[in-house]
Amino acid sequence: MNSSEHASRRPGQSTSEVTPTVLIVDGDVSVRKSLELLIRPAGWRLETFVSAREFLACPRRSAPRCLVLDVALPDLNGLDLQKLVADRTEMPVIFLTACRDVSMTVEAMKAGAFEFLAKPCRDDLLLGTVRQAIELSQTEVKRQAALVALRTRYASLSPREREVMALVISGRLNKQVAGELGISEITVKAHRGRMMRKMRAGSVADLVNMAIRLRLPLAPFRRTPQPIDRSMLALESGLA
């Protein structure tokens, strides 16, 4: 594979600005050449691979892309490769193969294939399928980037701010949070305000949605309030 075909990102360039890449894994050189002549004029980058192992040897990149894959390959078959890259949700898999076995088609689709096309395939059908797969990839890449940013904001919270957040998203009022943590209500308000700013949450509803995306557990209710930490009371004037 020509190294110039690799999708690259300039410093400061977002993933949404990167030219989408169509990855092709097919052992037939004539197929790879014909797909290159079809795909390049559409404006996408192209990377071609002779085998599954050659594809797997290349580093994974978080950028818009889709995989056009044959079932019959020199080493691993296409269905095996699909299973190995199942976690790459930003990379829809399109099968393009001469193998027309119904059970094989069903297996690929159940495993999450975007589409299963038979060779020979009409140019307009293949291009339309690739375009839809790329659009899906762009949406998923943006979703993943937003989740990484959200995790970074959550990681910036102090341990106490995380405790307050867990109680707030579980529906506790400030007074209840104070009782469960053994601190004053004024201190809770200070921690809560900083936590909301760090998380960039405009409301409790926003915070709950963020917690769902982060898969945070709800805080269990405690039956008895914790004793107030008197040492924290001395800090209230500085926190308020």
Query: Tokens at residue 73, please?
Result: 């390959």
Q: In this predicted structure, what is the pLDDT of residue 221? A: 62
Each residue's pLDDT tens digit, 197-236 = 999 999 999 999 999 999 998 777 665 555 555 555 455 4
pLDDT at residue 8, as a whole number:
43
DSSP annotation string for 119-162: SS--HHHHHHHHHHHHHHHHHHHHHHHHHHHHHHHHHTS-HHHH
Q: What is the pLDDT of residue 1?
A: 45
Mean pLDDT on 71-98: 92
pTM to 2 decimal places: 0.75
pLDDT cut 70: percent of the chain above it: 85
Which of 10, 4, 148, 133 is CA-nearest to residue 64?
133
- Radius of gyration over every alpha carbon of the chain, rounded to an integer in angstroms: 26
Separation CA 54–CA 23 (nearest Å): 12
pLDDT at 158: 96
Does residue 61 carry a pLDDT above 60? yes
Helix axes 204-214, 123-155, angle to 10 degrees: 110
Six token digits for residue 137 = 């990839």
- Using alpha carbons, select from 153, 156, 132, 142 the residue that is nearest to residue 210: 153
Which domains does the chain show, CATH number per domain?
Answer: 13-149 (3.40.50.2300), 156-239 (1.10.10.10)
CA 57 to chain CA centroid, Å, is 22
2-6, 73-77, 89-93, 218-222: the lowest-pLDDT one: 2-6
Residue 80 has pLDDT above 80, yes or no: yes
How far apart are alpha carbons 44 and 209 in whole angstroms? 35
Average pLDDT, rounded, for the chain: 86
Question: How confident is the model over 30-58, as pLDDT tens digits?
Answer: 999 999 999 999 999 999 999 999 999 98
